[in-house]
Amino acid sequence: MRKIDSHQHFWVYDKERHSWIDDSMRACQQDFLPAHLLPILQQNEIEGCVAVQVDQTEADNDFTLGLAQKDNFIKGVVGWVDFCADNVEERLQHYSQIKLMKGFRHILQGEPDNKFMLNAKFMYGISLLNKYGFSYDILIKPNHLPYAKELVAAFPDQRFVIDHLAKPFIKAGKINNWKQGIQALAAYPNVSCKVSGMVTEADWHSWNPEDFTPYLDVVFNAFGVSRVMYGSDWPVCNVAGGYAGVLRGIENYISKLSQNEQELFWAKNAIDFYRL
């Protein structure tokens, strides 16, 4: 069965630039490059991946695209542009000429204003993505879900995907408000969801796969099997069990699906969404 990892990262670790990688995340305070990931993918029979932006700079785009051009197991890149900049269309036009650039992301979860995504300039930038064939990754937390609903409602023809299930409070066992927000977002057929990042929202040292079942039930019931995709969030997942742990956390759940449904989840949905 084909498998694509729809969400992972590369970086050359810099203490200042990557200040979000604090001492609780020591496992991530080093370089992570294609040479480190390829053996892991091969060991787990995963044929390729989508590399997602880390820094909010175009230099990060250049870095990641450069890696993808050398290593063909990197099937696509999700980059960054300044959606509020006056020259945003010029930048999107530029990247539309680079086949490996598949979409964009902004670290919305890090913005002081929870409604940042509804800023008129930002929304104008989002409005241009479909013109150039790009997707958009929504990186948010549960408190952002109502605003994300407004965003996706404004652009029914735009392909959106929620990263990391919008980071539910798995460790605390909270589900109700997140569930309502996810169900509201999933009502829009142009929105998909990455089954990724769960281990880092659970108890890093003592989670078990059953912790994820209620959240997976919500996502699969809300989005259906045609709008969910596998993502590892490597190397961030190394703080909570590593790549093998991520797979262990979802394989039992996925095994109850039909063969066709499993193929959609592991590869086909990501291939279609990102046009790999």
Whichever domain contains 191, its CATH number is 3.20.20.140
Phi, psi of 58 (to 5 degrees): -75, -20
Find out whether 49 and 72 touch, Cβ atoms under 8 Å. Answer: no
- Nearest in space to 234 (alpha carbons), one of 10, 1, 44, 2: 10
pLDDT for position 192: 98
Q: For a pLDDT cut of 70, what percent of the chain falls above it?
A: 100
Per the listing, tokens 């099937």 go with: 75
pLDDT tens per residue across span 67-107:
999 999 999 999 999 999 999 999 999 999 999 999 999 99
Domain of 160? 4-274
CA dihedral 254, 167, 55, 96 (to 10 degrees): 60
Q: Which residue has the higher pLDDT, 125 or 1?
A: 125
* Dihedral sign from CA coordinates of 118, 121, 127, 130: negative
75 sits in which H/E element = strand 74-79
Section 230-247 average pLDDT? 94
The count of structural domains within the chain is 1
pLDDT tens per residue across span 93-142:
999 999 999 999 999 999 999 999 999 999 999 999 999 999 999 999 99
| Cβ-based neighbours of 72, under 8 Å, separated by 6 or more | 48
pLDDT for position 21: 87
Section 186-192 average pLDDT? 98
Rounded to two decimals, the pTM is 0.96
